[in-house]
Amino acid sequence: MTIKRHSMAALAVSAAMVAMVPQAVHAQAKPALKKEAVANVDARAKLVQEMVDSIFSFAEPGFQEFKTSEYITAILEKNGFKITRGVAGIPTAWTATWGSGGPLVALGSDIDGLLGVSQYPGTPTGKPMVAGGPGHGEGHNSGMPLIVAAALAAKDVMEKNKIPGRLMIWPGVAEELLATKAFYVREGMFKGVDASIFTHVSRDFSTGWGDMGNNGMVSVEYSFHGKTSHAAGAPWAGHSALDGVELMDIAWNMRREHLPVTQRSHYVITNGGGQPNVVPGEASVWYYFREQSFDSVRNLYETGNEIAEAAAKATGTAVTRRLLGYAAPNYGNRPLAEAAYENIKAVGMPKWTTDDQAFARAAQVANKLKVQPLATTVAPLSTPETRGPSMGGGSDDIGDIMWTVPTITIRFPSNIPNMIGHHATSAIAMATPIAHKGAVAGAKAVAMTVLDIMTTPSLVTRAKDFFNNVQLKDAKYDPVLTPEDKPAIHLNQQLMQQMRPQMEKFYYDPSRYKSYLEQLGIQYPNLNTGVE
């Protein structure tokens, strides 16, 4: 894979020139239609709460979202969507389609949880529901309820007013492993899509366009193959695969000192051998390589491959590798972002109660985090000028779709400021009124933006023009993923076989309880910080 790009300076100049070009104000859907969509979302606030709480209770990690997907698709199927399951060779992946004629709009959000972050919701202090179990410490339980509510609200308006158009809802499976969206694209799942709206949980309410500063990423496991022997009786007869893994890790850490500061790389040893008195014949290590551009991600990956080969030669072992995931850098579509931002401003932030603010403060105090109230104003539109230069960081495989069709991400306010990402603190609010209200607000903005797209042909035209003539001017999507690579659907399977029986005891029953907190016997707001 080769991506041609100008220098960073040239890109900055290009972005500045784009920003200076006057952007025609897009014609919006009629106010009456948007008002109707907002009312339709409000009418589904109870459904949003039940979905947010239910998916939180399922707490399924990547590739094991079976209960979650079954639950969501049943709701969509009941509401007239056609479900196609097992897309792209991934058992928990699916599409839900509805409509005819008009533009095709894709709506998506992630559904997977994280390992080891089980947490009672509505409890400021750390308290796992299942010791060592997975949980929603990223808040992915809230995005798909938002999308479902938005889609149903827009669908009702379109049916009532005979507005042509099509919707395709899809789930971000195993996003925390960055392991599926590149496969979706490879399998042609987004062929014919005119515009794509993605959502992600946040503490703010925002969207943006241009290079979003996320790092692209390659996820790869290196397996070293040696020769077993008695570690004491005949160590000379063996070749340690673990030595190969350890030597690679040492060499990588030395090389890392001389890499650009924008890169991020990290690893875990997934197999270190069986027992000390047997020279390990098999060992493996799993790496994430992250960088800002297509070329730099590829270069980082190739450097890792070279070091793995060198470590194998030095230890008398052999090494093979398996690509487990890929994520392209993120790039938002300007016309879609500007349209969505107008709707975000129209919706505004949720009306937080005194209890909401008190609970947020209690969670911050209990975990010794910076105290900051829940935001009461929407964030500014994020642009290349307002963001400034990026020094690297996290990744999100929505980038693969962003480089395939015009796409934006809408961030919605369902979490508490200053919680730690990929940590139990980020699960504390995710089945509370804070999460519910943020998802309802986000659903209104998405539904209104869908109607803009469906009723404004010029918006679709401008979005595609930006995609083809600005975004793709100096780069194109050409991932590391090869036709031979397959989704890593084996991941987390054994863990869930062990954990699921314990987790099932905590599944939410909305037919018996008004909320998950009520089912768990947790009074809201719980202000017990554990601090004297």
Asked if residues 168 and 155 have their Cβ atoms less than 8 Å apart, the reply is: no
pLDDT given for residue 10 in this prediction: 37
Phi and psi at residue 480, in whole multiples of 5°?
-65, -30
Q: How does DSSP classify residue 14?
A: H
502 within some domain: yes
Q: State yes or no: pLDDT of 324 exceeds 80.
A: yes
Whether residues 190 and 268 fall in one domain: no
- Domain annotation covers residue 529: no
Q: Give residue 239's pLDDT band: very low, low, confident or very high (50, 70, 90).
A: very high
Residue 532: what pLDDT?
A: 64
**What is the pLDDT averaged over residues 404-416?**
98
- Number of structural domains the chain divides into: 2
The dihedral sign for the CA sequence 311, 313, 316, 319:
positive
Which is nearest to 337 in space by CA: 442, 438, 407, 413?
407
Could you tell me if 134 and 90 lie in one domain? yes
Q: Using 50, 70 and 90 to split pLDDT, how confident is the model at 28?
A: confident
Q: Identity (one letter) of the amino acid at 420?
A: I
- What lies within 8 Å, CB to CB, of 519 at 6+ separation is 508, 509, 512, 513
pLDDT at 26: 53
Percentage of the chain lying above the pLDDT 90 cut = 92
- Domain final residue pick, 301, 326, 351: 326
Q: State yes or no: pLDDT of 223 exceeds 80.
A: yes
- Domain termination residue (choose one: 326, 352, 373): 326
Domain that holds residue 283: 216-326
Determine, yes or no, domain membership for 295.
yes
User: Is 348 a member of any domain?
Assistant: yes
Indicate whether 417 belongs to any domain: yes
What's the mean pLDDT in 215-223? Answer: 97
Q: What is the pLDDT of residues 165-179, one digit of tens each?
A: 999 999 999 999 999
- Is the pLDDT at 460 greater than 90, yes or no? yes
DSSP, collapsed to helix, strand or coil, labels residue 122 as coil
User: Could you give the CA distance from residue 399 to residue 405 in angstroms, rounded to a whole number?
Assistant: 10
**Res. 99: pLDDT tops 50:** yes
Same-domain check for residues 192 and 289:
no
With a CB cutoff of 8 Å and minimum separation 6, the contacts of 112 are 60, 61, 62, 63, 65, 140, 172, 173, 174, 175, 176, 177
- In this predicted structure, the answer to whether residue 1 has a pLDDT above a threshold of 50 is no
pTM here?
Answer: 0.93
Burial class (CB in 10 A: 0-12, 13-18, 19+), 505: exposed
Q: Single out the residue in 326, 349, 379 at which a domain terminates.
A: 326
Mean pLDDT of the chain: 94
- CA distance linking residue 26 with residue 165, whole number of Å: 19
